[in-house]
Amino acid sequence: MRHYTQLTREQRYQISALLDNNLTQTEIAKTLGVHKSTISRELKRNTGKRG
């Protein structure tokens, strides 16, 4: 079983700021040191009416 750590509040703010600067999900993942699927899941989870 693989272990994972949740993104911190600061990392979520960084994702938002980096998206505002038109970085790709891959570039954001490299900047934060996480896998690009982590960024993809986070954006899916927090996009839309609630996000």
User: Global pTM?
Assistant: 0.82
Reading phi first (left if > 0) and then psi (alpha if -120 to 50, else beta), residue 33 is in left
pLDDT at 45 over 80: yes
Which pLDDT score is estimated for 49? 67
- Backbone torsions φ then ψ of 49, nearest 5 degrees: -65, -35
Q: 8 falls in which pLDDT band (50, 70, 90)?
A: very high
pLDDT at 40 over 70: yes
- 3-class DSSP state of 13: helix
Q: Which residue has the higher pLDDT, 45 or 4?
A: 45
Maximum CA pair distance of the chain?
A: 36
Instruction: Please give the mean pLDDT across all residues of the chain.
Output: 90
